[in-house]
Amino acid sequence: MKAKVHVTLKHGVLDVQGKAIGQALHGLGFDAVKDVRQGKFIELDLAETDPAKARAAVESMCKQLLANTVIENYRIDLDA
């Protein structure tokens, strides 16, 4: 079973990487860009086949390692 995890900075947390990308895009002439936020995208291949157990495991991985829940949100999507 595959799991896709999006880790994004919470609203209000300064995103310096996003700001840098935004400035670089403006420098390249993309003036229509108003705001940029950069996050992480993690694809996990799991031996687990039960969706409920897989979600619980990935949830636990996010809390323990993948996301810093003080400043980041995470979203889990499971593929069969």
Binding footprint of a copy of itself on the chain (CB under 8 A): 6-8, 18, 21, 24-25, 28, 30-48, 54, 57, 60-61, 64-66
Give the residue from 36, 28, 32, 34 showing the smallest Cα distance to 9.
36
Nearer to a copy of itself, 66 or 76 (CB): 66
Q: How far is the CB of 68 from a copy of itself (least distance, A)?
A: 14
Nearer to a copy of itself, 65 or 70 (CB): 65
Place of tokens 């992480």: 40
Q: Are 58 and 44 in contact (CB under 8 A)?
A: yes
Q: How far is the CB of 76 from a copy of itself (least distance, A)?
A: 13
The Cα–Cα gap between 13 and 29 comes to 27
Q: How far is the CB of 56 from a copy of itself (least distance, A)?
A: 11
Q: What angle do CA 78, 38, 51 make, to 5 degrees?
A: 10
